[in-house]
Structure 1
């Protein structure tokens, strides 16, 4: 006789937990994606000089920039005006109408003038 759910040794109390709702599956997949940390690429000297040039130009002309930067699990973008650059501590402050971002130089991947 083959074993079935009613055979001795099966736990009927937890049998119903084998089914998973689509919402729960999506949440589990999102958590797995978050566990995979993002390793940003190492920028070469030309890319760093280009970032420096664009930042200097945007400050000089008082133009907004879009900065692509590294976060823990991927990249993010922020658009605004560069308000302050602290060369000693290695960060810059960007503002727009809704938010303010203080970003370290190491996290910057790309800068474009809007």
Structure 2
């Protein structure tokens, strides 16, 4: 049988016979790190603005859209802030029956007036 030919663009390591397994693993790890999302660092002024928006949403009971970093990528949730835990620096966001605790240091953006 004839082997299927693979272009270098499709698979760099199948087309090359001189690549050690260690080099292949390192290359794959580097490419995965390049695709990894890195959240922006917020300065004190931006954090204060987010804190103020969260507090206003908590006081008014209005809907809020929260964008936060979950450890892998940015996530967006819409709901109501039902609890602000100042000691642990986190908020409890409730959307329907589901409630989620979000650490304040993971918040990226808060928008008031959002509806589910």
TM range (shorter): 0.5 to 0.7
Could you say which residue in structure 1 is the equivalent of 2:23? none
Could you say which residue in structure 2 is the equivalent of 1:102? 101
Stretches of structure 1 that go unaligned for 5 or more consecutive residues are 1-11, 21-31
Report 1:19-38 matches (<5 A). Answer: 36-38=35-37
How many residues matched?
91
C-alpha deviation, 1:57, in angstroms: 0.9
Stretches of structure 2 that go unaligned for 5 or more consecutive residues are 11-30
- TM-score, with structure 1 as normaliser: 0.66
The verdict on how the C-alpha distance between 1:86 and 1:74 changes in structure 2, with shifts beyond 3 A counting, is same
Could you say which residue in structure 1 is the equivalent of 2:44? 45
CA RMSD of aligned residues (A): 2.6
Alpha-carbon separation, structure 1, partners of 2:35 and 2:57: 34
Alpha-carbon separation, structure 1, partners of 2:65 and 2:81: 10
C-alpha deviation, 1:97, in angstroms: 1.4
The answer to whether the aligner puts 1:65 opposite 2:71 as a matched pair is: no
